[in-house]
Amino acid sequence: MAPKLLLTFVIYRLISTVGLTLDPTDLLRLEVDGHLSVDPSDVKTASVDFGMMNRAEPLAVLHPSSAEDVARLVGAAYGSAHGLSVSARGHGHSINGQAQTSSGVVIEMSASKGVRQWGLPRVSEQSRYVDAWGGELWIDVLKTTLEHGLAPKSWTDYLYLSVGGTLSNAGISGQAFNHGPQISNVYELDVVTGKGELLTCSEEQNSELFHAVLGGLGQFGIITRARIGLEPAPQRVRWIRVLYSNFSTFTKDQEYLISLHGQPPNQKFDYVEGFVIVDEGLINNWRSSFFSPRNPVKISSFGTNGGVLYCLEVTKNYHESTADTIDQDVEALLKRLDFIPSSVFTTDLPYVDFLDRVHKAELKLRSKGLWDVPHPWLNLFVPRSRIADFDEGVFKGILGNKTSGPILIYPMNKNKWDDRTSVVTPEEDVFYLVALLRSALDSGDEAQSLEYLSNQNRQILRFCDDAGIKVKQYLPHYTTQEDWVDHFGDDKWTLFSKRKMDFDPRRILATGQRIFKPMA
């Protein structure tokens, strides 16, 4: 269908669906080089996400061909008389409908049905950065940069997420203690604001927009290009897991390891994470394919008497040319830790295989029909001073002995996060990510049901509230503005709202976050 005709159709659907009276003139002027679609399969894809708990059908889906297409659509929505919203969708890996809208158009940033004018990520070897389209998946950024012997420094555990999607949150993994989150490793952005302007921003240029967009939950603009810092890519990774039965020893060691961030590379690990094991089944779960069937691990063999085990996970990157010192460096670091002596599990693999580890697990789960299921995930930043209380109340209390998915726990250094960005973290020098990454199953076991797990999440949040543990949600989800104000705190909320007024005054962007009511 020709773009003009198609937009007329969209407008009629909008009028008939939500009963709005539109002034279609501006929208009718829209011409895009990409593809604007009302194809039911496109609408269906854009109406769901990884969480599988929310569903909202957009009126149409834009497969943009360029940043200009994005600007044309947002500009037209901004100019239309009555609230047509626009939501960028990266790879749709949100949990609670954050990239959805039922009163507007979803821009599919990653799916490349449009004619891609932006091409592959472009690497500058000399200045060590890559320019990537906002919808590019991190796996593709990695593949391109590796051709130049370079790689981004800060990652997420899973690479089938878009650049714009993770930069709208923070983007964290075990490298964050050292390099900060992904948003601390961005040099420059191209952004289409809620007024439809395409602007370049950085620390020096349009810096307010730059900081607003990083961790900005899609509220201030759509990222169409990100310039990301690179480092020489390691070739291999030594990947080590050790176990603890004592929580305070575990966290003491984790905190020690992240305190080494300022040390020379051979005197610190490159990645520090960890996870909690509360039931026997979990030790061989989807994140733990590491413990292979040839190398089975039994919780009971570590003398926990049915209690909780904690697994510290660290890596050391290396080049084949420095392989002779890797054993020594790892040994020296492990010597300073206090884990259960018989519990060291080591593997060695190419750098790409380590970074892409979760995708392997995804393929296995997909083959068993266990990937496309509801995911009532809860991600919390917990201040260091209260992590032991969280352990007592949640890991050893509320969770019981079944968890239905991995539970990650690792600390980060706040000084690696830039306070000027929009992301919210606890007010302490060190805080932990606790990620309850659970899948709901229709297995007949009540403890695996969506209702049970959702209730448990509410119980965890209530426990923190009652105990005065000032957690902050990562990938936050709230449904009332009061809760959002509470999340941001008074000062940051004032700034966040002002930025919204400046960059998206009609409140048309990323309405699926439910932070601001779209204008009628």
Please report whether residue 88 would count as binding ligand FAD according to CB under 6 A: yes
Which CB, 11 or 170, lies closer to ligand FAD?
Answer: 170
Q: Which of 230, 412, 475, 508 binds ligand FAD (CB under 6 A)?
A: 475
Block residue for tokens 């007010």:
427
Is-catalytic flag, 93?
Answer: yes
Q: How far is the CB of 511 from ligand FAD (least distance, A)?
A: 9
* 455 token code pair: 């209730």
Of 449, 442, 445, nearest to 376 by C-alpha is 449
Please report whether residue 166 would count as binding ligand FAD according to CB under 6 A: yes
Angle between helices 481-488 and 490-503 (to 10 degrees): 110
Please report whether residue 172 would count as binding ligand FAD according to CB under 6 A: yes
Site pattern 334..373 for ligand FAD (x: CB under 6 A): ----------------------------------------
Give the contacts of 105 (CB within 8 A, at least 6 positions apart).
10, 36, 58, 59, 60, 61, 62, 73, 77, 84, 85, 86, 87
Cα Rg of the chain (Å, integer): 23
Q: Which of 222, 309, 355, 440 binds ligand FAD (CB under 6 A)?
A: 222
User: Are 198 and 68 spatial neighbours (Cβ–Cβ below 8 Å)?
Assistant: yes
CA–CA separation, 188 vs 176, rounded Å?
A: 19
Q: How far is the CB of 89 from ligand FAD (least distance, A)?
A: 4
Please report whether residue 164 would count as binding ligand FAD according to CB under 6 A: yes
Give the contacts of 119 (CB within 8 A, at least 6 positions apart).
none
Q: Which of 35, 63, 72, 89 binds ligand FAD (CB under 6 A)?
A: 89
Of 176, 95, 121, 118, nearest to 512 by C-alpha is 95
Q: How far is the CB of 225 from ligand FAD (least distance, A)?
A: 9
Q: CB under 6 A: which stretch of 84-92, 298-306, 446-454, 462-470 binds ligand FAD?
A: 84-92
User: Are 422 and 214 spatial neighbours (Cβ–Cβ below 8 Å)?
Assistant: yes
Which CB, 24 or 104, lies closer to ligand FAD?
Answer: 104
Which CB, 85 or 448, lies closer to ligand FAD?
Answer: 85
DSSP 234: P
Q: How far is the CB of 141 from ligand FAD (least distance, A)?
A: 12
Give the contacts of 326 (CB within 8 A, at least 6 positions apart).
238, 316, 318
- Between residue 441 and residue 460, which ones bind ligand FAD under the rule CB under 6 A? none
H/E stretch holding 224: strand 221-232
Please report whether residue 91 would count as binding ligand FAD according to CB under 6 A: yes
Is-catalytic flag, 273?
Answer: yes
Please report whether residue 85 would count as binding ligand FAD according to CB under 6 A: no
Of 228, 230, 231, nearest to 319 by C-alpha is 231
**Strand 104-108 with 85-89, pairing:** parallel
Residue from 108, 131, 157, 504 carrying the catalytic annotation: 157
Please report whether residue 184 would count as binding ligand FAD according to CB under 6 A: no
- Phi/psi-derived region of residue 227, left when phi > 0, alpha when psi is between -120 and 50, beta in every other case: beta
Please report whether residue 165 would count as binding ligand FAD according to CB under 6 A: yes
Please report whether residue 66 would count as binding ligand FAD according to CB under 6 A: no
Residue from 91, 93, 211, 375 carrying the catalytic annotation: 93
List Cα–Cα distances, 516 to 151, 435, 474, 496, in angstroms: 37, 26, 18, 11
3-state secondary structure of 466: helix
Q: How far is the CB of 423 from ligand FAD (least distance, A)?
A: 10
Q: How far is the CB of 84 from ligand FAD (least distance, A)?
A: 15
Please report whether residue 504 would count as binding ligand FAD according to CB under 6 A: no
**Strand 198-202 with 430-436, pairing:** unpaired
Residue from 190, 253, 273, 329 carrying the catalytic annotation: 273
Site pattern 120..139 for ligand FAD (x: CB under 6 A): --------------xx----
Please report whether residue 168 would count as binding ligand FAD according to CB under 6 A: yes
The catalytic residue positions are 93, 157, 273
Binding site for ligand FAD (CB under 6 A): 49-50, 87-94, 98-99, 109, 134-135, 156-158, 161-162, 164-166, 168-173, 217-218, 222-223, 475, 510, 512-513
